[in-house]
């Protein structure tokens, strides 16, 4: 396993950006008998949650072990508190950065496969939302998405008003991230809209793995999105079991999601 911390200038975000990478090592002990090393390496882009940063996954999950066990590379961008969405202001194209520029940069810098089948995006909470949304916005790039405890708050955004008091973030923040709340049901910032568009266009949709704990405050919106996918006849693997909104659950489900991805 190699752990790297890097910075490069992002044209999309108009500033230097930081990222963390964990690369597998095919010289590690035991890889000669590991069937995962008989195929090309998978590249998994992991997104952090609200108030987090690119180092969160490496700090809180055994990425080195998972990388060597499953022959995968992990790349973690810093998404700030953007929900990985594009805004009209200069330097705020986080969906484009995550789904396009960061992919291109890592492929060129690390000599990665440019095949869709080897490119996966995942995340937790805000990053789970971002993983779903980015995969649906760039279905030609990602073969699958691992969405853990996804912050599918679009269901609540549409009812927000300026006088609402939210202890996590104020109305102005949600309006800045998602656009006019009253228009969220038809906005491309809404994953449901992206799904409907792909279904109407008969385009291939990335495989979807969703997981959320039974004690997680985001359980209901995740179940609601799963029901929506069922209505649209979009296949989804959905797991729920004991757990809250923390890395105990996310560590276990990252491994479970990788096994699902690799057909174990």
**Predicted TM-score of the model (pTM):** 0.97
- Are residues 147 and 123 in contact, defined by beta-carbon separation less than 8 angstroms? yes
Q: Could you identify the residue written with the tokens 């396009």?
A: 100
Q: State how far the Cα of 121 lies from the Cα of 74, in Å rounded to an integer.
A: 10
Are β-strands 2-10 and 15-23 bridged in parallel, bridged antiparallel, or unpaired?
A: antiparallel
57: pLDDT confidence band, cut at 50, 70 and 90?
very high
pLDDT tens for residues 119-154?
A: 999 999 999 999 999 999 999 999 999 999 999 999
pLDDT (average), residues 146-168: 91
Q: Which residue has the higher pLDDT, 67 or 29?
A: 67
Q: Is the pLDDT at 28 greater than 80, yes or no?
A: no
Q: State how far the Cα of 30 lies from the Cα of 224, in Å rounded to an integer.
A: 43
* E strand or H helix at 147: strand 144-148
pLDDT tens for residues 201-220?
A: 999 999 999 999 999 999 99
Q: Is the pLDDT at 31 greater than 90, yes or no?
A: no
Are β-strands 72-77 and 15-23 bridged in parallel, bridged antiparallel, or unpaired?
A: antiparallel
Q: Is the pLDDT at 52 greater than 90, yes or no?
A: yes
Q: State how far the Cα of 257 lies from the Cα of 208, in Å rounded to an integer.
A: 10
Q: What percent of the chain has pLDDT over 90?
A: 91
Q: Is the pLDDT at 92 greater than 80, yes or no?
A: yes
Which of left, alpha, beta for 149 (phi over 0: left; psi -120 to 50: alpha)?
left
Q: Is the pLDDT at 173 greater than 90, yes or no?
A: yes
Token reading at 99: 């789904």
Q: Which of 83-92, 162-171, 227-236, 253-262 has the lowest mean pLDDT?
A: 162-171
pLDDT, residue 21, reads 98
């Amino acid at each position: 396993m190699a752990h790297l911390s890097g910075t490069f200038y992002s044209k999309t975000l108009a500033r230097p950006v930081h990222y963390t990478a964990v690369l597998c090592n095919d010289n590690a002990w035991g890889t000669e008998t590991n069937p995962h090393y008989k195929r090309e390496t998978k590249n998994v882009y992991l997104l952090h949650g609200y108030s987090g940063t690119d180092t969160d996954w490496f700090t809180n999950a055994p990425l080195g072990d998972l990388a060597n066990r499953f022959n995968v590379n992990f790349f973690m961008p810093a998404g700030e508190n953007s929900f990985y969405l594009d805004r009209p202001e200069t330097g705020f194209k986080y969906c484009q950065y995550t789904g396009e520029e960061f992919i291109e940069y890592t492929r060129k810098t690390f000599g990665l496969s440019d095949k869709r089948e080897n490119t996966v995006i995942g995340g937790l909470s805000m990053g789970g939302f971002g993983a779903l949304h980015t995969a649906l916005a760039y279905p030609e790039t990602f073969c699958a998405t691992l969405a853990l405890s996804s912050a599918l708050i679009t269901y609540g955004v549409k009812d927000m008003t300026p006088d609402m008091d939210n202890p996590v973030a104020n109305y102005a923040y949600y309006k800045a991230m998602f656009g006019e709340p009253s228009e969220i049901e038809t906005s491309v910032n809404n994953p449901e809209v992206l799904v409907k568009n792909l279904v109407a266009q008969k385009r291939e949709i990335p495989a979807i793995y969703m997981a959320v704990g039974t004690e997680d405050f985001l359980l209901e919106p995740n179940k609601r999105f799963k029901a929506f996918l069922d209505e649209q006849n979009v296949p989804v693997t959905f797991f729920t079991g004991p757990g809250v909104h923390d890395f105990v659950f996310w560590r276990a489900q990252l491994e479970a999601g990788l096994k699902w991805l690799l057909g174990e």
